Amino acid sequence: MLETIRTMEEKLNRCRAAVDNLTDALDAFNAVQADLCALEAYYGSDAWFSHLAADERGELPPSLCRGVLSQDALYDLLQDADALRRRLGSEKKTENA
């Protein structure tokens, strides 16, 4: 009996932490949806191509962070966010797991 209670207590604590962490992560993800939309609109736009060309010509200051001009970084982020949205939409509550 005591071992079962200890085991179930460990499960409770692990599950509580996971639910709390996921709640925080979902809140953070929901909070950046407008930013993701802005990045999606920027990526591949005339402005983005103009900024990329300026970077390639060396017209941007070397100290300027410009990961947003990296096709891979921006594309990967947008793809990962989209995959996460699909995953969140398809996850079902597991029963008797």
Q: Are residues 43 and 86 in the same domain?
A: yes
How far apart, in whole angstroms, are the C-alpha atoms of residue 97 and residue 93? 10
Residues 79, 58: one domain?
yes
Same domain, 72 and 50: yes
d(CA 48, CA 52): 6
The range of the structural domain enclosing residue 2 comes to 1-31
Q: Determine the Cα–Cα distance for residues 7 and 1; give it in Å rounded to an integer.
A: 10
- Identify whether 68 is part of a domain: yes
pTM of the shown model: 0.76
Distance from first CA to last CA of the chain, Å, rounded? 22
Is residue 18 located within the same domain as residue 7?
yes
| Pair 22, 37 in one domain | no
95 in a domain, yes or no?
no
d(CA 62, CA 11): 51
Within this chain, do residues 65 and 86 fall inside the same structural domain, yes or no? yes
> What tens-digit pLDDT sequence spans the chain (97 residues)?
999 999 999 999 999 999 999 999 999 999 999 999 999 999 999 999 999 999 999 999 999 999 999 889 999 999 999 999 999 887 655 444 4
Number of domains in the chain: 2
Q: Are residues 11 and 39 in the same domain?
A: no
The reported pLDDT for the residue numbered 54 is: 97
Residues 37 and 83 in one domain: yes
